[in-house]
């Protein structure tokens, strides 16, 4: 009897055989994602395959290419710097203060990102051109804006600044309000709070927004060609040189396209690396 009970207990407590997991049916969503993914990758791959890498260094020695690269890098750095200086206070205000018409202000900040580039260029021309709202006053002071490197910087700032402002606003808003209240009780002024508390806590949002602003400014074309023109060595940035090179020398256009793809890819890597690090922390 004891033997039978023992045997039955053994049967009940025996570990069941592992059953293989059923084969999942083909993931339909994965298959449906392939056409658009392929469409997005194919043009970039085709450009890289067609690019004259064997003549890349020789093309970089071309005067027009060097001027376009130098102008693009210098103007985009200035535009990004201006955005940091003037966009940070704006982002701080949007994140920390209850403003009347905040939604309208927020929408106006986003507007340059969805405007057709030609509209952005004409709007800047109507504001800062010789016959624009501020152009006449500036012209009286001996300051000419349109069709100068200044116009390049303003066009890049106009279309790219919203990327930093939005990212920084989200970063500042994520900082706990109790931290500000505690600092104020301890006698810290607004600059000390921002420098020692806000920036260390929101640095990833600021860095990511800065990288996206720089990348967007680097690729700016439409507003620049209308507001600043396409003068080699003066206002011709890399996108404008590609436009002209496509008609005159395809190798030059391909060389500049490869440079832009590489720089944009690096900027996106920085943004994604910062975000990934923030998630892991």
pLDDT at res. 103: 87
Q: Quote the CA–CA distance of 32 and 271 in Å, as a whole number.
A: 28
pLDDT at res. 9: 53
pTM (2 d.p.): 0.83
pLDDT at res. 249: 80
Q: Quote the CA–CA distance of 165 and 167 in Å, as a whole number.
A: 6
| DSSP structure class, residue 122 | H
pLDDT at res. 54: 79
Per-residue tokens: 158:
């106009």
- Residue whose entry in the numeric block shows the structure tokens 């990934």: 276
Residues whose CB is less than 8 angstroms from the CB of residue 219 and which lie 6 or more positions away in sequence, other chains included: 239, 260, 264
Residues (pLDDT < 50) of the chain are 1-2, 10
């Amino acid at each position: 009897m004891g033997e039978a009970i023992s045997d039955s207990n053994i049967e009940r407590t025996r570990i069941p055989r592992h059953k293989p997991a059923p084969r999942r049916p083909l993931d339909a969503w994965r298959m449906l994602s392939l056409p658009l993914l392929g469409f997005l990758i194919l043009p970039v791959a085709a450009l890289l395959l067609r690019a004259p890498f064997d003549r890349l260094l020789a093309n970089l020695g071309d005067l027009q290419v060097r001027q376009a690269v130098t102008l693009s890098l210098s103007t985009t750095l200035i535009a990004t710097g201006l955005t940091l200086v003037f966009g940070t206070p704006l982002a701080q205000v949007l994140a920390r203060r209850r403003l009347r018409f905040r939604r309208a202000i927020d929408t106006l900040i986003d507007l340059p990102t969805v405007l057709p580039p030609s509209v952005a260029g004409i709007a800047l021309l109507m504001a800062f051109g010789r016959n624009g709202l501020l152009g006449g006053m500036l012209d009286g002071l001996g300051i000419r804006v349109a069709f100068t490197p200044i116009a390049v910087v303003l066009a890049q700032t106009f279309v790219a600044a919203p990327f930093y402002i939005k990212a920084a606003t989200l970063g500042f808003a994520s900082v706990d309000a109790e931290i500000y209240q505690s600092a104020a009780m301890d006698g810290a002024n607004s600059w000390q709070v921002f420098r020692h508390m806000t920036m260390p806590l929101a640095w990833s949002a600021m860095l990511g927004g800065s990288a996206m602003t720089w990348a967007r400014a680097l690729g700016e074309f439409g507003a620049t060609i209308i507001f600043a023109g396409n003068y080699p060595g003066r206002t011709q940035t890399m996108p404008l040189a590609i436009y002209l090179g496509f008609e005159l020398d395809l190798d030059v256009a391909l060389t500049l396209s490869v440079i832009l793809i590489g720089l944009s890819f690096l900027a996106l890597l920085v943004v994604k690396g910062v975000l990934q690090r923030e998630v892991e922390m």
